[in-house]
Amino acid sequence: MSNVRHSHEHGNIPRAWVVTSIGEISDVVAGGTPRANNPENFVEPGAGVAWLTPADLSGYTEKYISRGARDLSKSGYESSSAKLIPAGSLLFSSRAPIGYVAIASNELSTSQGFKSFVFPTEVNSSYAYYFLRSIRDFAESQGTGTTFKEVSISIVKTFPFILPPLAEQKVIADKLDFLMSQVETTKTRLERILQILKHFRQVVLSAAMNGKLTDDWRKKNSSEKWKSVTLLDVIESKPRNGYSPKGVDYKTAIKNLTLSAVTKGYFL
């Protein structure tokens, strides 16, 4: 690690920590993909060589992953530039999109949409996982390309990597495991609360529209019974279709509402 820099060269990090680069601290491995139009290059998961694409990490929230939606056949693997990387390696998507991270739970391969990092024993894989997640915005800013952004292997190797002592790496990773599990638990509870509130809103609206909400008031203040009529009975003019004129790029006194303007239940 010839380019290791100590903490005093990198601002406010603990003195025992050092700053290096991905290329200095790990072996960076590019992936590969066989011809996609040949179905014989691919087999069902578990029937061939475990293989991942960035799409396999889309929406994936676990830290470890064992394989993707399909494996490579023997011929598919041998005809591509995909390489087997060992368990514990860090999988980092380098395009479409940049910055998905997972740890290989077993030996596997990846498409060219990944740059994988094989770290030495001095680096805790869980710590490396969280560190790479923490620099996703930076990684995305390093992407180049027009159709979609990508970071090259030469750029990835220059990414900074902050390295605490091994024992401290494990403490950091363990604490983050705990805190992230708390975040997920809180998220699940909030989602349940939102569902409860949504149901409550519908119950209240239903109660208002069938008279239950004002039942006590009606007993004290009114003897009139509710009438059931059609909507056409109470509106001044019949419903008609709207009009969708072509918009202009300057302000006028006339506003035109589209359906998307009222999907939240109100408009400005």
Q: What is the pLDDT of residue 210?
A: 84
Distance in angstroms between the alpha carbons of the first and the last residue of the chain: 59
Domain end (from 126, 149, 164): 164
Q: What is the pLDDT of residue 264?
A: 62
Q: What is the pLDDT of residue 211?
A: 84
Let me know whether 99 and 185 are in one domain: no
Q: Give a yes or no: residue 129 inside a domain.
A: yes
Let me know whether 211 and 160 are in one domain: no
Q: pTM of the entire structure?
A: 0.72
Let me know whether 92 and 22 are in one domain: yes
Q: Give a yes or no: residue 224 inside a domain.
A: no
User: Does residue 43 contact residue 70 with C-beta atoms inside 8 Å?
Assistant: yes
Q: What is the pLDDT of residue 9?
A: 45
Angstrom distance (rounded) from CA 24 to CA 7 = 17
**pLDDT beyond 90 at 246:** no
Under the banding of pLDDT at 50, 70 and 90, the label for residue 8 is very low
Let me know whether 143 and 26 are in one domain: yes
Q: Give a yes or no: residue 187 inside a domain.
A: yes
In total, how many domains does the chain have? 2
Domain end (from 130, 164, 198): 164
Q: Taking residues 92-117, what's their average pLDDT?
A: 96
Q: Three-state SS for 128?
A: helix
Domain end (from 147, 164, 181): 164
Let me know whether 111 and 139 are in one domain: yes
Helices and strands, counts by H and E, the chain: 7, 12
Let me know whether 147 and 34 are in one domain: yes
Q: What is the pLDDT of residue 5?
A: 53
Q: Three-state SS for 176?
A: helix
Let me know whether 45 and 133 are in one domain: yes
Q: Give a yes or no: residue 196 inside a domain.
A: yes
Q: What is the CA radius of gyration of the chain?
A: 29
Let me know whether 37 and 97 are in one domain: yes
Q: Give a yes or no: residue 11 inside a domain.
A: no
Let me know whether 170 and 143 are in one domain: no
**pLDDT beyond 60 at 267:** no
pLDDT tens-place string over residues 148-194: 899 999 999 999 999 999 999 999 999 999 999 999 999 999 999 99
Q: Taking residues 53-72, what's their average pLDDT?
A: 96
- Expressed as residue numbers, the domain containing 182 is 165-216
Q: Give a yes or no: residue 40 inside a domain.
A: yes
- Positive or negative, the Cα torsion across 53, 59, 64, 70? negative
Q: Give a yes or no: residue 8 inside a domain.
A: no
Tokens of 268: 């400005």
**pLDDT beyond 80 at 85:** yes
Over pLDDT 90: what percentage of the chain?
A: 68
Let me know whether 134 and 193 are in one domain: no
Mean of pLDDT over the chain: 89
User: Does residue 132 contact residue 115 with C-beta atoms inside 8 Å?
Assistant: no
Q: Give a yes or no: residue 27 inside a domain.
A: yes
Let me know whether 34 and 121 are in one domain: yes
Residues with Cβ < 8 Å from 242, sequence gap 6 or more?
257
Angstrom distance (rounded) from CA 97 to CA 150 = 8
CATH number for the domain spanning 91: value is 3.90.220.20
What is the 3-state secondary structure of 31-67? CCCCCCCCHHHEECCCCCECEECHHHHCCCCCCEECC
Q: What is the pLDDT of residue 217?
A: 83
What is the 3-state secondary structure of 70-111? CEECHHHHHCCCCCCECCCCEEEEEECCEEEEEEECCCEEEC
Angstrom distance (rounded) from CA 236 to CA 135 = 60
